[in-house]
Amino acid sequence: MTAARGDGPRVDLGPAPTQEDLAEVYDVCVVGSGASGALTAWALAGAGLSVAVVEQGGHVVDGVSYDDLLADSEAAWVRQENGTWGKIGYPWTTCNVGGGTLFYGGAFFRNRPVDFDAETALGAAELPLRWPFGYDELEPYYAAVEQLLGVAGEPGADPTLPPSSRPYPLPPVARSAEGALLAEGASALGWSPFATPLALNTRGHLGRPACEADAPCICRKCPIGAKGDALRFLDPALRRGARLFAGLKAVRLRTAGRAATALECARVDTGARYEVRAHRFVVCANAVQSAALLLRSTGDRYPMGLGNTGDLVGRGLCFKLSEYVVGYRYNGGPGESATMGLGPFSTCAVTDLYEDPAAPGGLGGLLYEARPERPFRLRASEQLVRVEALVADEPQPGNRVRLGPGTDAHGVPDVLMDYQAHPRDLARLEHVLGQAERALSAAGCTVAVREPSGWALGSSHLHGTCRMGDDPATSVTTTDGRLHDADNVYVGDGAVLPFPGGVNPTLTIQAVALRTAHRLLRDVYGADTSRLNLEPRYATTSATAETA
């Protein structure tokens, strides 16, 4: 069965669940198969638990692009520039098995230590900016994910990070001509450019081949599996016995007392309803979709939605602010034209501006080479570089996910993303963009053109709607990801981040997901998770423990 819009199938939904599938009560149901959901399923299935993974999208058909999938994904209501509402927002990176990792460039940065307590730079805010733990707590999980996926990087080269407990498993990507241009300008200003850490095989790793660099890496599924997408976790999870149900939209969690008992789903092509039963549920649908699912999960005990006793589910929505600057340099003289933009997404990054006293609030952001999704032709006498500026946004209670005014074809309420950027965050972005233009000028670029990213509509950087913390008055989940007001429901994606940080989020989201999975295994199933091995074999006291 396929689902499509336009001139052909985009995804393969696979078969609908059978009566036998639905008769089982799984140890854990994981909602979502993207960056965090796939890793969570891998960790839990590796411990011997029975795991069901529910995914709204289908398996991506070969040759389908990011633009194709985004066009087929459900839109969300957003506030437009003229103040009216339009259903034009992007509450996904993409909706498919493996999520947006199939199409990302693989930029794999760690959050900086300041991101775990941004109040040291920005001061107190309406919602606490401080994480319930610091960088040192997450560092072993960062290192474990880097080893598992095979991250290519330059050890010790990032001037804003403490030393890692383990070196990168793969050598860094070779610097491109575009990256060299950014590095030249950054060095001229006294900065320390370094190789962008990428979830990309610069040589064969764990049975997967090296990148062939024959096409732009961004916005397409790697045809040879050289990119560190979520399938690297999902495929072995399925081999270990996890069940994947694609094409099922998570409608609501059904509850009895303080526990969820089943996930009600709708088949996206037929609207048929199914219930997946489990002893525990880990919601990894992304920060927008996870919040919407909890808000839809109303009941006698949860009139405002599961986890929403304190009216915090959906609040603190963060998109991260970004914009591109394209620099042009003419070197003079004749020369044959050549194709530029093939291969890895980014080869050069600059973090010297991350904690910048000159930036509004003293917190700057990231600059890095970001190749476009299509190659381009240039003469040998010309050079271009596209640089992305990225800054974190302050979580605000008024920035939130809500249920929208309408429903989809199967009667499920729309999603609404109510977001307005903090003026100081806009000023911070402008500051970092100005520094990018300085670097391009220092590299000899005579023209610098800004290119909008559309960040205000959502898409790939979604955080903060189910904040974790010790205080139920300011957070939705505990430090370990369990809802404060439910006994067996966890949130394992970017929704739990109290402050998003100013770098690409995938590594941080996966590190937090691995930590949450370990806590669940340790505290509920008695697993020994004291070691973060590449191929963990957890010893559990009971793989079928009932809900406490």
For the entire predicted model, the pTM comes to: 0.94
Assess whether pLDDT exceeds 80 at residue 540: no
Instruction: Identify whether 410 is a catalytic site residue.
Output: no
Of 59, 461, 463, 484, which is the active-site residue? 461
b/e per residue, 335-365, with b = 16+ CB within 10 A? eeeeebbebbbbbbbbbbbbbbeebbbebbb
How high is the mean pLDDT of the chain? 92
Q: Are 297 and 466 in contact (CB under 8 A)?
A: no
Assess whether pLDDT exceeds 70 at residue 276: yes
| pLDDT level of residue 215 (50, 70, 90 thresholds) | confident
Q: Please tell me the total number of residues recorded for the chain in this structure.
A: 548
CA 40, 44, 47, 48 dihedral sign is negative
pLDDT tens-digit readout, 486-529: 999 999 999 999 999 999 999 999 999 999 999 999 999 988 77
Looking at residue 335, its pLDDT comes to 65
Start-end of H helices in 87-168: 119-122, 135-149
CB-facing half-sphere around the CA of 54: CA atoms within 13 A: 34
**Ordered domains of the chain (ranges, CATH):** 1-120+220-316+408-419+458-538 (3.50.50.60)
pLDDT tens-digit readout, 44-88: 999 999 999 999 999 998 888 888 888 888 999 999 888 899 999
**Nearest 10 degrees: CA dihedral of 332, 334, 335, 339?**
60
Percent of the chain with pLDDT over 70: 94
189: tokens are 């200003």
